Amino acid sequence: MKTALPPILLLAACATPPPPTIAAPTLAAHVRFLSHDLLEGRGVGTRGDELARLYLATQFEAFGLRPGHDDGWEQAVPILGITSVVTAPLAARGAGGTAQFTAPDDFTAVAGGPAASARWQDAELVFVGYGITAPEQRWDDFGDADLRGKVLLVMNDDPAGDPDRFAGRTRLYYGRWSYKFEEAARRGALGAIVIHTNASAGYPFQVIQASHERENFWLPFRDGQPTLEARLWCSEDAARRLCQLGGHDLDALRARAEIGNQPPVPLGVRLALGLDNTQRELRSANVLGVLPGSDPALRDEHIVVTAHFDHLGIGTPRNGDAIHNGAVDNASGCAGLLALAQACSRLPVAPRRSILFLAVTAEESGLLGSQFFCANPTVPPERLVANFNVDGLNVWGPTTDLEFIGHGKNSLTALAETVAAERGRTIAPDSNPDLGLFYRSDHFNFARIGVPAAYFKAGREFVDRPEDRRRMKASYTTVHYHQPSDELAPWWNLAGAAADLDLLLACLRRCADADAAPTWTPGDEFAARR
């Protein structure tokens, strides 16, 4: 026989609803819309871009959030689109003869600045190892070499042999291809060629090839900003052939570079290339919704939750499909952002700090939307106290662990470990620290302005058929990443994503309610920026 609750206890039970949870069907519904063919891959500045922004804004409005910008739900982001066409293939000559390289089989080339064309006729090629200048690491790949007007051949990684330098196997920003191009421009180089390997990039060359003759996007160039005439990637085989033309062995050059502080090597190779660039100005926007904080003393502080909504639009057909739907990357992340926003909006009492839900544009083009926001924040930077980034959800099933990208860099690590332990789960460090994932999504721009950031990725310890699930997860990067086949599929199991987001929701709430804001670990590369 059941005993009725006393009226006072019954009222208390009714007044305290269970904490909100994330539902897998809700996530699937958001993904289904955002990755639908009607949005045509959500390319920057396209109709699909506008539809995605409208969907996100109307969802924020339905949840009862407030517009996060003075102009409403959107922060306009000015973008320069540049489409590059190879008009003369990369040609090389040296003591070992001549060679011609085909795009995109051997290389890809895009504009590295605002120039209308690049015309290389007799450009000198110089090998610069990792292309890194890092005094704090006691490392310099350049010395006193004058590299103005030359083309640099550079490795896509940072040194990993010494645990006391460059964090060992954990890649720093020095190892990112974007740093290589930036440093080459600062040196006055004409262009740079990054050598692709599967190990250093973390994805196959077909991902690089997908950018061939595709429009690339930039924020407007600043006066005096160092630029290159062209940014190139080449296959490892093409790099080997380039070196051989000058009588050099690529493996020997790379082994020499591992020693450190070796001067650049003129390869005795001259290059020719033709590149024409078509420019257009377009606009996209970030979408912002705010849940105001409930504590008068803390509500001016904001925690930012980010996810990028853009993808690659329409490209070269593969198996008859040209639409890059970007279901995992990052319709799923937007679904997570919306689910978190809805869950927070349903809380009986809002968290003490305000929460800014920020869907950013042009992540695939170099983190441009978050870069623009961090340069033009709607909240004073010192009042941005933490960033939780959602980029790709777990579509393979529940795990007992959850990977934390940037594990140990700030106090959000300890927070996540506490929350996970309460749920019988564990927080694992990045399983691929050599890929530099901390520098590859939007949280990086927040870290650069001193905001402690957390970025969770799917774990590896699957509850059901772990080996099969791990193989499926690995195949996403090798087969579907940045390909038209990244689509919502019947086999998706979003129960793992829902559990991961529940954990993230708890971290978000505790961070928003804590007396003290998160802090960087003393000595971290971003600690001094706070």
* CATH 3.50.30.30 placement within the chain: 81-279
Nearest to 476 by CA among 394, 419, 367, 418: 394
pLDDT tens, position by position, 300-322: 999 999 999 999 999 889 899 99
Place of tokens 């958001």: 30
pLDDT tens, position by position, 121-173: 999 999 999 999 999 899 999 999 999 999 999 999 999 888 888 888 888 89
Q: Give the CA count within 13 Å in the CB-facing half-sphere of 524.
A: 20
pLDDT at 407: 96
Tell me if residue 346 falls in helix, strand or coil: coil
pLDDT tens, position by position, 206-230: 989 988 888 899 999 999 999 999 9
Residue 389 in tokens: 């980034």
* CATH 3.40.630.10 placement within the chain: 18-76+282-523
The band of 477, judged by pLDDT with boundaries at 50, 70 and 90, is confident
CA 12 to CA 250: how far, in whole Å?
Answer: 72
DSSP H or E stretch at residue 27: helix 24-34
In terms of DSSP bridges, do strands 74-94 and 216-218 run parallel, antiparallel, or are they unpaired? antiparallel
Identify which has the larger pLDDT, 53 or 13.
Answer: 53
Rounded (10°) angle between helices 412-422 and 495-513: 120
pLDDT tens, position by position, 228-250: 999 999 999 999 999 999 999 99
Nearest to 106 by CA among 205, 217, 227: 205
Q: Which residues contact 474 (CB under 8 A, 6 or more apart)?
A: none
Q: Which residues contact 227 (CB under 8 A, 6 or more apart)?
A: 112, 113, 114, 115, 185, 221
The band of 19, judged by pLDDT with boundaries at 50, 70 and 90, is low
Query: With contact defined as beta carbons under 8 Å apart, do 125 and 269 qualify?
Result: yes
Rounded (10°) angle between helices 236-245 and 250-259: 100
CA 348 to CA 457: how far, in whole Å?
Answer: 29
CATH domain 81-279 topology:
Glucose Oxidase; domain 1 (3.50.30)
pLDDT tens, position by position, 391-409: 999 999 999 999 999 999 9
Q: Residue 521 to residues 282, 432, 447, 454: CA-CA distances in angstroms?
A: 40, 21, 12, 13
Q: Residue 39 to residues 43, 50, 195, 223, 453: CA-CA distances in angstroms?
A: 9, 9, 34, 35, 30
CA 464 to CA 470: how far, in whole Å?
Answer: 10
pLDDT at 409: 96
pLDDT tens, position by position, 380-389: 999 999 999 9
pTM of full prediction above 0.85: yes
Nearest to 203 by CA among 474, 415, 15: 474
For 18-76+282-523, which CATH class? Answer: alpha beta
| φ, ψ (nearest 5 deg) of residue 91 | -125, 145
